[in-house]
A and B are shown apart, each in its own frame.
Chain A
Amino acid sequence: MMVSIGFWESLFAAKTAIFIGITNSMLAAVCAIVIGSICGVAMGFIMTYARKYVVFPFRLFVDIVRGIPGLVVVFTIYYFLDVFLRSYGIKLPGLLAGIIALSVTNTAQMAELTRGALQSIPRGQIEAGKAIGLRFGQILYYILLPQALIQMLPPWVNTATETVKGTTLLMLIGISELLLVTQQLIATNNHALKYYCFIGLVYFVLNTIIELAGKAAEKRLRF
């Protein structure tokens, strides 16, 4: 049933639904970025400095995840977790599955970024650290990690904005993120184009904030 009210009126009436949508989208994005960054940086260090047979499974993970479409990762993890938890009689919370799926994608990206950044740090840095008697853990923490993080900042921002966009995939496993909420609203009125422009603007603003924060951090940290 179409109700013929104006766009702004309809948007205002739907403010709670839209707020929930934005919250879910942001929650998924932030969790995936944080988890992906922590796990990815750790994985990147392992892939750069561990022994070959330790590196191998991580390498495999990163290559597989990066080599398949994000949506396939989302579906695979969703159905895997669903089946797994159901065997214990637990119902899978959709948002959790979504966060895990996006985190997996993010981890693989961040691992590759970290590995690249670490590999580009000259060997002389490790040697200078050793020469003043630092142990390897201290060299990692005080010398390699900060340099890698600073170098990774621009591609990291890129990955973060891709993650924000990637949250739209989660509508396909039924999570009430911004795009799904919007589509449900559009079904009840005739403002489709305006709604899409509106949420386009929301994503754009979110990503612009991330980009600006990244630029500011880069400026402060650049050496």
Chain B
Amino acid sequence: MDENLLQIRGLEKWFGTLKVFEGVDLDVKAGEVVSIIGASGSGKTTLLRCVNLLETFQAGTILLDGNPVGYHEANSKRKRFSERVIARQRLLTGMVFQQFNLFPHMTALCNVSLGLIKVKKLSKAEAEKEASRWLERVGLSDKIHSRPSQLSGGQQQRVAIARAVAMNPKILLFDEPTSALDPELVGEVLNVIKQLAADGATMVIVTHEMRFAYEVSDKVVFMDKGKIASMGTPAEIFEERKSDRLKEFLSTFNS
């Protein structure tokens, strides 16, 4: 019960000669909602991408549900798993991107059902039933047959959320899910995420929506220059503001 669903230890990541992480440690328990905040370039996106295995990392371990992902030890050498294994490990996480990244040539229904059919091997009928159920959950039952180009940004992001949750991942990763949206469309997407949180989903959310982070999170992580600079409950982070860097960062957001 108390076990960590995601456990990151000593993560180090280089882009060429640029060191992005200096030994990052992070734990996420089942059912927990963790928000990551921090200045641009502090490594928030890269951290999520490492967990989703979209990036390589040079040292440290990431355990998902108790098992190492991405790399394993063979003859006391660190080796990356084969692409086939990595594809399977990615199913433990669901990713929602800042730019939605919906497949533009497919309807909302096909976007959500593709993985169910090709990866989960459901029949087309089962997959479409499951996909429409999720599209309904995000409030898009009337847009099932629409292409992404016929949807608003908020609707597209909700399809993307449905696509991620439909695969039934253990952890959902959100990278600034509302940053590409017009202000009036932010609310509908945040509401969907809140609903998922209320239903007990485990989530890691990179966001600049401080009020939302305050309301939805069990734990808030403040990243600064590739390190976790502070971590605590929303009250500890947003009200107590223990470090100067955190104060400075939060003061750039009003309220």
**Which residues of A come within 8 Å of B, CB atoms?**
122, 124-125, 127-136, 138, 142-143, 146-147, 150, 221, 223
Would A131 and B148 count as touching, CB distance under 8 A? no
List B residues 107-166 near A (Cβ within 8 Å): 114-115, 118-119, 147-149, 160, 163-164
Would B118 and A127 count as touching, CB distance under 8 A? no
Interface size of B as a range: 20 to 34
Assembled-state Cα–Cα distance A73/B33 (Å): 64
Nearest residue, chain A, Cβ from B90: A133
Would A135 and B99 count as touching, CB distance under 8 A? no
Assembled-state Cα–Cα distance A124/B100 (Å): 9
Contact of B54 among A131, A134, A223 (CB under 8 A): A131
Nearest residue, chain B, Cβ from A150: B105
Assembled-state Cα–Cα distance A118/B159 (Å): 24
Assembled-state Cα–Cα distance A134/B86 (Å): 10
- A124-B99, A133-B87 known; A146-B105 Cβ under 8 A: yes
Nearest residue, chain A, Cβ from B112: A132
Would B97 and A127 count as touching, CB distance under 8 A? yes
Contact of A131 among B88, B104, B164 (CB under 8 A): B164
Show 15 residue pairs from A and B whose CB-CB distance is below 8 angstroms, ordered by the A residue.
Answer: A124-B101, A125-B101, A127-B97, A128-B163, A129-B103, A131-B54, A131-B95, A132-B90, A133-B88, A134-B118, A138-B118, A142-B118, A146-B105, A147-B103, A223-B147
Interface check B94, CB cutoff 8 A: yes
Report how many A-B pairs have Cβ atoms within 8 Å.
71
Interface check B248, CB cutoff 8 A: no
Chain A residues positioned under 8 Å from B24 (CB to CB): none
- A127-B54, A223-B149 known; A135-B103 Cβ under 8 A: no
Least Cβ–Cβ distance between A130 and chain B, in angstroms: 6
Interface check B77, CB cutoff 8 A: no
Would B105 and A131 count as touching, CB distance under 8 A? no
Assembled-state Cα–Cα distance A133/B91 (Å): 6
Chain A residues positioned under 8 Å from B87 (CB to CB): 130, 133-135
Assembled-state Cα–Cα distance A133/B103 (Å): 15
Would A132 and B99 count as touching, CB distance under 8 A? no
Contact of A136 among B53, B83, B93, B115 (CB under 8 A): B83
